[in-house]
Amino acid sequence: MTTRLIAAFAACFLVTACGAEGPARKATDPAPASALAPAPEPTPASTGEANMLASAMGTWMGTKKLWIRDPNAPEVSDTEVVVSANRVSYTWSFQGRPQSGTIELSKKGDRVYAKWNDTWHSTKTMACEGTDTDGRIVFTGTYAAGDGPDWSWRTELDLSKPGDFGLKMFNITPTGEERIAVHMELTAASD
């Protein structure tokens, strides 16, 4: 059962990561509304809500672990992360090829909205929604997985400890089973 679940995660993740959408959807077909829902525009900085990442602003260095097939053998690369008031930009590599990603955050009331893209994971920007509670910003979006039901992708930004910044991403099946997909272990870069 575990082997089949890992294989299913890997197959779905690779289909999505490589941009293939399976026979049920063609490139000209519209994506599901959940994947294209626009995130609200960021709130004005004067409200303080646009500075959700203020405690982690700066450059962070470390390693990025990416789990594809074997949950015990992630792909590992160096990563550099730049955090501004409402944006996380990062670079990394996969099998020697440079990759990059961005997370843009906005807030409306008690809801956090994010736009996430990554050159390796997908050619599309994923719209996400979530919360900001006690220094943990957690948001989830969905993506098409071939001709089956949509899968979910949850991102967690951890700013709960002063001077620390953590980033994890999880792949979630339509039945709710989840596996870690990305973990960035970071330390503040020296000036």
pTM of the shown model:
0.75
Confidence bin at 16 (pLDDT 50/70/90): very low
Provide the pLDDT for residue 50.
57
pLDDT in tens, 124-179: 899 999 999 988 999 999 999 888 999 999 999 999 988 889 999 999 999 999 99
Residue closest to 91 by CA, chosen among 59, 139, 132: 59
**What distance in Å separates the CA atoms of residue 115 and residue 39, rounded to the nearest whole number?**
7
Give the DSSP per-residue string, 95-111.
TTEEEEEEEEEEEETTE
The pLDDT, as a whole number, for residue 47 is 39
Which CATH architecture does the domain made up of 2-22+32-188 adopt?
Beta Barrel (2.40)
Give every CB contact of residue 170 below 8 A, 6+ residues apart in sequence. 153, 154, 155, 156, 178, 179, 180, 181
29: Cα within 13 Å, side-chain hemisphere: 14
- Tell me the H-state helices in the chain: 2-17, 33-36
- Residue ranges covered by each domain of the chain: 2-22+32-188
